[in-house]
Amino acid sequence: MSKKLLIETHTVNIAPSQLIENVSKENGNIVVEGILATAEVKNGNGRYYSRQLWERELDKYKELINERRSLGELDHPESSVVNLKNVSHLVTDYNWDGDNVMGKIEILPTPSGNILKELIKNGITVGVSSRGMGSLEPMGNVMEVQDDFELLCWDFVSTPSNPGSFMGVLQEGKQSIEYDYTKINQIITEILCSKGSCPVF
């Protein structure tokens, strides 16, 4: 099987009052935390990631964290490359809690990061979603992610989530084929226009 782009989503539900408590002491940027990934279970996309696979990829990803290159974008591009002009955040740490990969994410003061911050401040539920390349093989009633999987990053997205998967701040989400970005695009346009940078369509 050939490698393809694999996307998995969790939902972040942060009250605006939590933002004050979650500010980085180093630079004043907002920090959110919650589940980045879950191993050893069928996720909302019908995929199974082994713990061994996540451990291997996170060991590699730790180098990016240490070098402050663990960047992600606002919305998933159809690409395996992180586009710097769309960067919104930086993954700063992770740890295991059972089979959950817990992570800390710093929202950066970039144009996309400012949009993300405003969405969260206004109570908009956003998802954090892994982006990687890999192949799938059927394993019973799930598609098993194969050993050729390569974790690329985590992005923030507006993807609907799986109900009942709340685990602290984040929950597992479900990838959909078509996205309705109408509401989020309206919010982004309002934010940009209020800052004097109204886009022309």
pLDDT-based confidence at residue 33 (cuts at 50, 70, 90): confident
Quote the pTM value: 0.72
Half-sphere CA count of 130, side-chain side, radius 13 A: 27
* Domain membership flag for residue 3: no
How many domains does the chain divide into? 1
* Domain membership flag for residue 54: yes
108: domain range?
10-194
What dihedral angle (degrees, nearest 10) is formed by the CA atoms of 142, 146, 151, 154? -10
Alpha carbons 88 and 74: distance in angstroms, whole number: 6
* Domain membership flag for residue 83: yes
Length of the chain: 201
CB atoms closer than 10 angstroms to residue 160: 17
Supply φ then ψ for residue 50, to 5 degrees: -75, 155
* Domain membership flag for residue 74: yes
Lowest mean pLDDT among 49-53, 69-73, 151-155, 156-160: 156-160
* Domain membership flag for residue 106: yes
Contact 88, 74 (CB under 8 A): yes
Alpha carbons 91 and 104: distance in angstroms, whole number: 6
* Domain membership flag for residue 141: yes
Contact 104, 94 (CB under 8 A): yes
Alpha carbons 171 and 62: distance in angstroms, whole number: 23
pLDDT-based confidence at residue 198 (cuts at 50, 70, 90): low
Alpha carbons 35 and 131: distance in angstroms, whole number: 15
Amino acid at 12: V
Contact 32, 19 (CB under 8 A): no
Lowest mean pLDDT among 61-75, 128-142, 175-189: 175-189
Q: Where does residue 75 fall: left (phi above 0), alpha (psi -120 to 50 degrees), or beta otherwise?
A: left
| Percentage with pLDDT > 70 across the chain | 69
* Domain membership flag for residue 201: no
Contact 77, 10 (CB under 8 A): no
* Domain membership flag for residue 1: no
